[in-house]
Amino acid sequence: MPPPVFRFAPSPNGLLHLGHAYSALLNFDLARQNGGRFLLRIEDIDGARSRPDYEAAIYQDLAWLGIVWETPVRRQSEHFDLYRDAVERLAGHGLVYPAFESRAEIVRMIEQSPHMQVSAKPWPRDPDGSPLYPGSVTTLPPQEREARMRAGEPFVLRLDSGTACRQAGALMWEEQGSGPGGETKRVAARPEAWGDVVLARKETPTSYHLSVVLDDALQGVTHVVRGQDLFWATSVHRLLQQLLGLPAPVYRHHGLLRGEDGRKLSKSARAASLQSLREQGLSPQNIREMVGLP
Ligand code: GLU
């Protein structure tokens, strides 16, 4: 049996905090306990938010924690061609279409939709709480889509989720952790809950969902261990794996560390960074204790 492969895949758009330390150490410990490999991947597809100094801080923080990773480190921004090819493959199966609306226009489309005029029910939202995209593949004639792209308008490429889900059929994943609702073991994927997700953008030929799925497969990742906030994203990942003929890793979603206010730690909420904890004199052992790892 080849060794299991674990990975930690941060985005260099802020300093790592205790939640990242927990996820990275858990993956590293699991790899060691199981005679496996541990990979680090830099998820830097967002050119506007990714910064070299944050990437350097990731290496510094992880090394300080005693984590050792294989090199070279895969940086997603260096593999746009691969992601572009995958979108083209999906497009070749008639599963991708361009959409041109801004966020504000999407909100307006929803407000003006016949559903909102006649139904008492609120507009459906995805598991992250964003309203589902209301357009459908049929709303714009193909010639008009082509013309607008040629004219240089901003666009995103969306997955035609209805057709994609029909093509893929029912999907499950093996869950070794648990979901926010206590889901365990074999979880039924619900990609339809996300609607027509964005696969790529005019300026960025990929998205989180697409690149994570392609890279996990390409790097031979067998165990995806990550926070529970990504639990339902796994539905989309299973769908893309099925459509692209990629193997499905085993998943383990771990609980999220919460701040004193009970909210999940996040870069934007200015959770104390590992860098600042280190500067305050804390040791890697203190960090392990704080995140509840032996
Ligand atoms: N890059 C993602 C993040 O920073 C994690 C991706 C994953 O583990 O699937 O939250």
Lining residues, ligand 1, CB within 6 Å? 9-11, 43, 212, 226, 230
Q: Is the pLDDT of residue 49 over 70?
A: yes
Q: Is the pLDDT of residue 241 over 90?
A: yes
Q: Please give the pLDDT value at position 84.
A: 98
Taking the centre of ligand 1 as the mean of its atom positions, its distance from the CA of residue 8, in whole angstroms, is: 8
Taking the centre of ligand 1 as the mean of its atom positions, its distance from the CA of residue 43, in whole angstroms, is: 7
Q: Is the pLDDT of residue 141 over 90?
A: no
Q: Strand 156-159's sheet: what is its strand order?
A: 96-99, 156-159, 198-201
Residue nearest to atom 10 of ligand 1 (CA): 10
Domain coordinates in residue numbering, the chain: 1-78+257-294, 79-219
pTM of the model: 0.94
Q: Please give the pLDDT value at position 249.
A: 98
Q: Please give the pLDDT value at position 262.
A: 74
Q: Which atom of ligand 1 is nearest to the CA of 8?
A: 8
Q: Which percentage of the chain shows pLDDT scores above 70?
A: 98
Q: Please give the pLDDT value at position 265.
A: 74
Q: Please give the pLDDT value at position 128.
A: 93
Fold of 79-219: Glutamyl-tRNA Synthetase; domain 3 (3.90.800)
Which residue among 74, 211, 230, 265 is best mutated to probe the pocket of ligand 1, counting the most ligand atoms within 8 A of its Cβ?
Answer: 230
Per-residue pLDDT averaged across 167-189, rounded?
96
Least confident of 17-21, 92-96, 265-269, 284-288: 265-269
Taking the centre of ligand 1 as the mean of its atom positions, its distance from the CA of residue 56, in whole angstroms, is: 17
Least confident of 139-143, 150-154, 171-175: 139-143
Output the average pLDDT for the chain.
94
Q: Which atom of ligand 1 is nearest to the CA of 23?
A: 8
Q: Is the pLDDT of residue 97 over 90?
A: yes
Q: Please give the pLDDT value at position 232.
A: 97
Helix (H) / strand (E) containing 175: strand 172-175
Q: Please give the pLDDT value at position 138.
A: 66
Q: Which percentage of the chain shows pLDDT scores above 90?
A: 82
Taking the centre of ligand 1 as the mean of its atom positions, its distance from the CA of residue 9, in whole angstroms, is: 5
Question: Is the N-terminal amide bond of 72 cis, ω within 30° of 0?
Answer: yes
Helix axes 233-244, 161-168, angle to 10 degrees: 70
CATH number assigned to the domain covering 1-78+257-294? 3.40.50.620
Distances (CA, A) of 154 to 105, 198, 257: 13, 13, 38
Residue nearest to atom 3 of ligand 1 (CA): 10
Taking the centre of ligand 1 as the mean of its atom positions, its distance from the CA of residue 11, in whole angstroms, is: 7
In this prediction, residue 135 has a pLDDT band, given cuts at 50, 70 and 90, of confident
Which residue among 40, 46, 212, 221 is best mutated to probe the pocket of ligand 1, counting the most ligand atoms within 8 A of its Cβ?
Answer: 212
Which residue among 5, 7, 8, 11 is best mutated to probe the pocket of ligand 1, counting the most ligand atoms within 8 A of its Cβ?
Answer: 11
Strand-strand pairing, 74-75 and 37-42: parallel
Q: Is the pLDDT of residue 224 over 70?
A: yes
Q: Is the pLDDT of residue 213 over 90?
A: yes
CA 59, 49, 153: angle at the middle one, nearest 5? 145
Residues recognised as catalytic: 267
